[in-house]
A and B are shown apart, each in its own frame.
Chain A
Amino acid sequence: MSKNTLTIDGKPVQFKEGETIMEAATRAGIYIPHLCHDPELEPQGNCKMCEVKVNGRNCSACTFPAAEGQKVLNNTKELNENRRIIVQMLFVEGNHLCPGCEKSGNCKLQAIAYSVGMMDYRFPLIYPKREMDSSHPDILLDRNRCIFCEMCVRAGREVDGKDVFAISGRGIGNHLIVNSPSGLLKDSQLEVTDKAANVCPVGAIIIKRHGFEIPIGQRIYDNKQIGEVSVATEKVLEEKIHG
């Protein structure tokens, strides 16, 4: 094999110096399930969906550096079972009611749940009490659906330069807070065109009045698996950003 090569499920993959396993995989068109990763943002590794086995050790693909000769296992029964548990945990942690959610069909959590074969909650629902913020004229914040991927937090800081969102609290009490004197979205600097307003993988931050423009049945993940969509869009993005 040529230099800077690792294997993912036995398939040789080239990587560039300084890349993560996720970046190398995306470039090679291999899907590693993820919820808190976006090629445009600094990886953080909190959702643990992208956990792979690197030379026998569990690692988050989005943060772990690619290295020569690594044997990475991704699409295995054990890892996919772990991913199913993570999705189930995220579902019971929040208040996710897919049938009534306008993100349904465009939601990455829902799409991953389908792709890993989630058939039930497995765990008792936690039913947290969470605040909703509909004060902003164009953007809705429904904390019931937040999965703490911190994509909006990072997008605000890294892309929009506005620092609108942050995580406060601790543990299961974590919650998203808004940077404004009142704590409300309407008094923040967030605008419809910001990445932070559009990056939410679930329905926690949604743009008002556009929810049903595309009918159910024709939405992103209604007819395609998330892996397929993810590889197609993120590969282009990855190449654009990191060359």
Chain B
Amino acid sequence: MTWSESKQEKVLTIVCKHEKRQTRLLQILREVQEEFHCVPRYAIEIVAAELGLSRTKVEGVVQFYSLLSLEQQGRFHILFSDSITDQFQGSRKLMDYMSAKLGVKPGQTRSDGKVSLGFTSCTGLCDQGPAGLVNGHWISRLNESQIDRIVDMVEREVPVSSWPLEFFHVEDNIQIPGLLLQSPIEQGEALKQSVRQGFDEIFIEVTRSGLRGRGGAGFEAAWKWRFCAEGPEDYSGLSLVGRNERYVVCNADEGEPGTFKDRILLNSNAHQVIEGMTVCAGVVGAKQGFIYLRGEYYRLRPKLEAILANRRANNLLGKSILGRNGFDFDIEIHMGAGAYVCGEESALIESLEGKRGVPRVRPPYPIDRGYLDQPTVVNNVETFAAVAAIAAYGGAWFATHGTEKSKGSKIISISGDCERPGIYEYDFGISIAEILMDCGAENTLAVQVGGPSGGVISGKEYHRKLAFEDLGTGGSFMIFNKKRDILEIVRNFTHFFAHESCGFCTPCRVGTTLLKNQVDKICDGHSTALDLVGLTSLAKFIKTASHCGLGQSAANPVLGSLSHFPQAYKDRFKDVVFEPGFDLDESLETARQMSLRDDPWAHLEQ
């Protein structure tokens, strides 16, 4: 059997649109997926041949990203966010409801090929959950009556583009704006200031501001920029004649569950973010930039493309920006495809190059050898927004806010058990207690600061402050009240890491699954005190031995909850002399299937 010519033609058109560039592989595959509701084997052959790659390389990429699939998915592919806040808002029950109505289980495609259901990691709508994606489009605040309407439209095969707009309504939900959100810059303001003052001067302003990366790790932005600008040529004493290319990358792969502040910045302040990137390009001497936009934020893309076009038309991007000879810079948008690990900067660069998002070995660091082995600055969306403001208003203006080691403000995404979830911006140094008061949180059991990879804190620590020197965060702030079960939260986070581990290194690949199984065992009531000893040593090992930040933080939920809520674990132990480490009856299931028996004698009571 061969593929029809029209299908082949479709794949070729996509490949040609991307100029047969290997770095566009992921972009090509996304479009193939959209066209065929899967990446068919035949398409893999065509793409591989046209791009000059082996079919295994292409297949390896398809199977790495969770929004791509070798298996046929439905013409309507519906994903529910499986973030813990969505779960607590009833997402699992709603999935059961929808699943029953449509007659298809999560993870499956209905036999008529019309619809498939599944779960996905956080979709970045935790403040308006339960949320999900229909063919890549956000749907928020799901409830049964809305699901009834969705099911009806799916059954009648109404194309998603004709669904009522209110279905896709997503709010910015800014509750308390601060330093950046209160005083957005005028379009072009930061660039005009930069051209007037000169980029050397602007670099001094950024240094003076003390700005640290907003993605979570908190490296000083100016420090990164300087090394990138100087680059490997300076170490090796090469003249600047043979100077390498430089790249500026905006990390918009906002995948940390519970984080959605970049969604708001890109939705309402994209000019400022792009302007920050352009300022950075002027400082480090980059001609090309990228916005790496997470796959789940697909709907922001047309808007961003329009803004880029508008800036080109206004000479704020492109050749000779603002008439300055030699100041050339442009930006491409690259879409991710469902891989949390791509938020790690070297994995992000691999993904930008069209590969599997496996974090690189370091050294060399991206500032030396990043995209296509050239010096590359990767900064978070919020960092670039701050850069633009610093260029416009000065480093001193920024540095008067915040604490000694954490200058400026932090935009946080609040979700979970509180009256007013949404976006809050505070100067660094604000206490957790103040934040909880502002958003109307009561009876709080715990706060997860920085998402699953961050840390959990409980009541006696609410005096602690949001700052790199105390509680650092990329922006996720999840609140859980006393009705919540801390172990369910740990279970959700631990499953998340096992699902998102790239599998490159042994400690994380195997360790995250062992951790997941162990936490399941405890939650299901099959554990003994001895299991906690094993759990602790396993968790500590994963933390110290893993290759990248994902593995190094994958055990944080277990370690944090063990130290703050040890009783929660003990409560799950069964008070018996001997507790089997597994479900005896369930273990017989395979044997029952093989022997075609299901009579009482084929069952065991525990």
Q: Given A82-B545, A86-B545, A124-B517, decide whether A168 and B507 contact each other with a Cβ distance below 8 A.
A: no
The residues in B between 299 and 351 inclusive whose CB is less than 8 angstroms from any CB of A are 339
CA of A92 to CA of B538, assembled, Å: 14
B38 to chain A minimum Cβ distance, whole angstroms, is: 15
Q: Are A89 and B510 in contact (CB under 8 A)?
A: yes
Q: Which of B54-62, B403-411, B474-482 contacts A (4 or more CB under 8 A)?
A: B54-62
A186 to chain B minimum Cβ distance, whole angstroms, is: 16
The residues in A between 141 and 174 inclusive whose CB is less than 8 angstroms from any CB of B are 147-148, 163, 165-174
Check: B503 CB closer than 8 A to any chain A CB: yes
Check: B420 CB closer than 8 A to any chain A CB: no
Which of A48, A124, A165, A172 is the one whose CB lies under 8 Å from B505?
Answer: A48
User: What A residues does B547 contact at CB under 8 A?
Assistant: 45-46, 48, 60
Q: Are A171 and B505 in contact (CB under 8 A)?
A: no
User: What A residues does B545 contact at CB under 8 A?
Assistant: 48, 51, 58, 82, 85-86
For A, the interface residue count at a CB cutoff of 8 angstroms equals 40
Chain B: CB-nearest residue to A58? B544
Q: Are B507 and A179 in contact (CB under 8 A)?
A: no
Q: Are B59 and A168 in contact (CB under 8 A)?
A: yes
Check: A90 CB closer than 8 A to any chain B CB: yes
A157 to chain B minimum Cβ distance, whole angstroms, is: 9
CA of A90 to CA of B509, assembled, Å: 10
CA of A82 to CA of B45, assembled, Å: 42
Contact residues on B (Cβ < 8 Å of other chain), bracket: 35 or more
- Contact indicator per residue, chain A 91-124, by CB within 8 Å of chain B (1) or not (0): 0110000000000000000000000000000111
The residues in B between 40 and 96 inclusive whose CB is less than 8 angstroms from any CB of A are 45, 54-57, 59-60, 62-64, 66
Q: Are B538 and A86 in contact (CB under 8 A)?
A: no
Q: Are A166 and B60 in contact (CB under 8 A)?
A: yes
Q: Given A170-B339, A174-B503, decide whether A89 and B511 contact each other with a Cβ distance below 8 A.
A: yes
User: What A residues does B512 contact at CB under 8 A?
Assistant: 171-172
Chain B: CB-nearest residue to A167? B60
User: What B residues does A60 contact at CB under 8 A?
Assistant: 361, 547
B344 to chain A minimum Cβ distance, whole angstroms, is: 14
User: What B residues does A70 contact at CB under 8 A?
Assistant: none
CA of A58 to CA of B541, assembled, Å: 12
Chain B: CB-nearest residue to A36? B506
User: What A residues does B498 contact at CB under 8 A?
Assistant: 171-172
Chain A: CB-nearest residue to B363? A65
Chain A: CB-nearest residue to B339? A170
Check: B134 CB closer than 8 A to any chain A CB: no
User: What B residues does A86 contact at CB under 8 A?
Assistant: 506-507, 545
- Contact indicator per residue, chain A 48-71, by CB within 8 Å of chain B (1) or not (0): 110100000010100101000000
Q: Are A89 and B507 in contact (CB under 8 A)?
A: yes
B194 to chain A minimum Cβ distance, whole angstroms, is: 37
- Contact indicator per residue, chain A 118-137, by CB within 8 Å of chain B (1) or not (0): 00001110100000000000
Q: Are A90 and B510 in contact (CB under 8 A)?
A: yes
Check: B127 CB closer than 8 A to any chain A CB: no
Q: Are B504 and A93 in contact (CB under 8 A)?
A: no
Check: B513 CB closer than 8 A to any chain A CB: yes
B68 to chain A minimum Cβ distance, whole angstroms, is: 11
User: What A residues does B509 contact at CB under 8 A?
Assistant: 93, 148, 171-172, 174
Q: Are A89 and B506 in contact (CB under 8 A)?
A: yes
Check: A178 CB closer than 8 A to any chain B CB: yes
Chain B: CB-nearest residue to A173? B503
- The A-B contact count (CB < 8 A) is 118
Check: B581 CB closer than 8 A to any chain A CB: yes
User: What A residues does B60 contact at CB under 8 A?
Assistant: 166-168, 177
Q: Given A86-B506, A171-B513, decide whether A44 and B361 contact each other with a Cβ distance below 8 A.
A: yes
Q: Given A51-B545, A58-B545, decide whether A171 and B56 contact each other with a Cβ distance below 8 A.
A: no
The residues in A between 20 and 77 inclusive whose CB is less than 8 angstroms from any CB of B are 43-49, 51, 58, 60, 63, 65
CA of A135 to CA of B400, assembled, Å: 70
Chain B: CB-nearest residue to A87? B506
Chain A: CB-nearest residue to B361? A63
The residues in B between 365 and 414 inclusive whose CB is less than 8 angstroms from any CB of A are none
Q: Are B501 and A172 in contact (CB under 8 A)?
A: yes
Which of A45, A48, A82, A166 is the one whose CB lies under 8 Å from B59?
Answer: A166
Q: Are B506 and A48 in contact (CB under 8 A)?
A: yes
Check: B137 CB closer than 8 A to any chain A CB: no
Chain B: CB-nearest residue to A128? B513
Q: Are B510 and A46 in contact (CB under 8 A)?
A: no
Chain A: CB-nearest residue to B66? A170
Q: Are B64 and A170 in contact (CB under 8 A)?
A: yes
CA of A157 to CA of B496, assembled, Å: 33
Most B C-beta atoms less than 10 A away, residue of A60, A89, A122: A89
Check: B500 CB closer than 8 A to any chain A CB: yes
Most A C-beta atoms less than 10 A away, residue of B339, B509, B538, B581: B509
User: What A residues does B504 contact at CB under 8 A?
Assistant: 46
A14 to chain B minimum Cβ distance, whole angstroms, is: 21
User: What A residues does B513 contact at CB under 8 A?
Assistant: 93, 126, 171-172
B314 to chain A minimum Cβ distance, whole angstroms, is: 42
The residues in B between 534 and 557 inclusive whose CB is less than 8 angstroms from any CB of A are 534, 538, 541, 544-547
Q: Are B501 and A170 in contact (CB under 8 A)?
A: yes
Check: B465 CB closer than 8 A to any chain A CB: no
Q: Are B541 and A85 in contact (CB under 8 A)?
A: yes
Q: Are B54 and A163 in contact (CB under 8 A)?
A: yes
A70 to chain B minimum Cβ distance, whole angstroms, is: 13
Most B C-beta atoms less than 10 A away, residue of A46, A122, A170: A170
Most A C-beta atoms less than 10 A away, residue of B63, B356, B512: B63
CA of A170 to CA of B59, assembled, Å: 12
The residues in A between 177 and 192 inclusive whose CB is less than 8 angstroms from any CB of B are 177-179, 181
CA of A126 to CA of B595, assembled, Å: 24
CA of A178 to CA of B62, assembled, Å: 15
Known: A48-B546, A124-B514. 12 other contacts (CB 8 A): A46-B504, A48-B506, A58-B544, A89-B511, A123-B538, A148-B503, A166-B60, A170-B63, A171-B513, A178-B56, A179-B56, A181-B45
Residues on A lying within 8 angstroms of B by beta carbon are 43-49, 51, 58, 60, 63, 65, 82, 85-86, 89-90, 92-93, 122-124, 126, 147-148, 163, 165-174, 177-179, 181
Selected A-B contacts with CB under 8 Å, 10 pairs: A48-B507, A49-B506, A60-B547, A65-B363, A85-B545, A89-B511, A166-B59, A171-B498, A171-B502, A171-B509
Q: Which 10 A-B pairs have the closest CB atoms?
A: A166-B56, A171-B501, A89-B510, A174-B503, A171-B503, A172-B513, A179-B56, A168-B63, A168-B60, A63-B361
